[in-house]
Amino acid sequence: MVLDKEIEKKVVDQADIKTIIKRLGKEVSKDYYDKYPILVGLLKGCMPFMGDFIKVLDFHLELGFMDVSSYHGGVQSHIDVRIEKDLSMPVRDRHILIVEDIVDSGRTLHAVIELLKQRGAKSVQVCTLLDKPSGRKIPYSPAYIGKEIPNLFVVGYGLDYQERFRNLPYVGVLKPEVYSEEDRILTNQSDT
Ligand code: PRP
């Protein structure tokens, strides 16, 4: 495989992902089966996870998408959060479940949750595949967490490095030589 060769180690493999999605599906179904929620996916990272996740949810729901950017291509989370694409439906009096691939600094979620609350959402919760609590700059605990990971820069299953590796079917860590010189220094710093 082409992408496989650039991965140093797997952090969450395909079997893990399947097990996690099954468990999250049960937890979310128990809480939302009678709430007709809007599941809001944050593009682009949510795509593979959200695609697999909704298939285990056997209740009525709507899908919405937003594109909110915080990383701008590299390995470090920037302070800016930009709304590139907004939801196409009103959220007033609706239950919202945000679907994320990863929560790192918490900045993206902070911005999106505030916005949806301002717009009158009845409730706003988060279901994330990965949680990296060591990266947190704004305190936040998602209601539904697939797996907590240490302070590693991970790619795959939606997560990118410079827009690549989103199509990897598992989550892993890149080999050091894949990074640009500048990012290699930053990655080493964040691992310590
Ligand atoms: C990534 C990821 C989360 C966010 C988490 O998105 O998908 O949405 O960063 O980081 P934070 O907790 O530090 O805000 P990104 O902005 O890179 O866009 P993408 O989904 O298109 O990769």
How many angstroms separate the alpha carbon of residue 113 from the centre of ligand 1?
Answer: 14
Identify the residues whose C-beta falls under 6 Å from ligand 1: 42-45, 69-71, 77, 100-108, 160
Token code pair at residue 67: 């594109």
Q: What is the model's pLDDT at position 32?
A: 98
Q: Which atom of ligand 1 is least distant from the CA of 69? A: 16
Integer Cα distance of 22 and 65 in angstroms = 22
> How does pLDDT run across 74-89, given as a tens digit for each residue?
555 555 678 899 999 9
In angstroms, what CA-CA distances link 134 with 152, 173, 176?
10, 17, 21
Q: What is the model's pLDDT at position 159?
A: 98
How many angstroms separate the alpha carbon of residue 81 from the centre of ligand 1?
Answer: 9
* pLDDT at position 147 over 80: yes
* pLDDT at position 123 over 80: yes
